[in-house]
Structure formats: C-alpha cells, structure tokens
Amino acid sequence: MASNVLTKRTAAPRVNTARVKPEAVEPMKPRKKGFSLFALLDKYANVDALFEEGVPLKYMPRILFLTGITLLYIGNTHFAVKTIRQIDKVKVEVEDLRADYSTLKSEYMEASKQSEVARNVAPLGLEESSRPPYQVIVPADEY
C-alpha cells in the first residue's frame, strides 16, 4: 500500500464524531474613544437600512455618472500637473539656449568685423585693398 506520508501512522484513523463547541467568550466591551467622524456618520446616517435588500439599482446610473466624472477630474488633474512640469523643463532649456544664442551671436559679430577678417586672412597672404572698388560696364552688343 502506497503512502504519501514520510512517517508511519501510529494513531487510529479519524472517524466522524461530533465536535465540541468552545465555550462562549464574553464579547469585549467597546472602548470609549474620543470624537470619531465615522461613528458619528454611522449613528446619524442609517446606510445599512438602504442596502438591506441589496444594492438599489435606481441609483446605479447616478453612481456610475459620478464615478466617471470623478475619474475624468482626476485624470485631468494629473495631465495638468504633467504639462506644468514639462513647461517648466522647457522654460529652463529655452533660457539655456537663449544664453548660448546670445554668446554665439556676439562671437559672430566680433569675428565678422573688417579688422578681424583682415587679421585672420593675413597668414594666407591676403591683404586689404586700399583702392575703392570700381564697376566694370560691358556694352550690351559685346556680350
């Protein structure tokens, strides 16, 4: 005979016998606490009587509507907070980019001055012309 038990049984097999009920324990006396909002609500709003026979279905459309509106309100609040955080992050980035733009613009303006250009091209053997430019006029019949 196969057995799933590692040790051998030494006691007799169980039989159907009546269970002995434990002695009744005295219920604990409710402790007096300070002010409790839920105790006050339970005392004055008899909600248990409303649900004695189950959930009244006539209130379900209103409950579902209010639940839906509440979920939309919570979702909208989360979306607004997320958007505000993104706006703050973009503001910081725009300030950094504006500072970089101002720096690069001033460097470009400095580098594009005539004296700076002349100094930078002098090692290449280019010099500034001392004569003003002149216009070459080609007659229309030659071209």
Residue 114 falls within a domain, yes or no?
A: yes
Residue 26 falls within a domain, yes or no?
A: no
pLDDT the model gives residue 68: 97
Q: What count of residues does the chain have?
A: 143
Q: For 92-103, what is each residue's pLDDT tens digit?
A: 999 999 999 999
Residue 53 falls within a domain, yes or no?
A: yes
Residue 28 falls within a domain, yes or no?
A: no
Determine which helix (DSSP H) or strand (DSSP E) holds 22, and give its type and residue range.
none
Domain count within the chain? 1
Q: How confident is the model at residue 45 (pLDDT cuts 50, 70, 90)?
A: confident
- The mean pLDDT value for 58-83 works out to 95
User: Could you give the angle at which helices 60-111 and 114-121 cross, rounded to 10 degrees?
Assistant: 70
Model confidence at 83: pLDDT above 90: yes
More reliable by pLDDT, 124 or 14: 124
The half-sphere exposure of 43 on its side-chain side, counting CA atoms within 13 A, is: 6
Domain extent for 116: 39-123
pTM above 0.85, yes or no: no
Residue 118 falls within a domain, yes or no?
A: yes
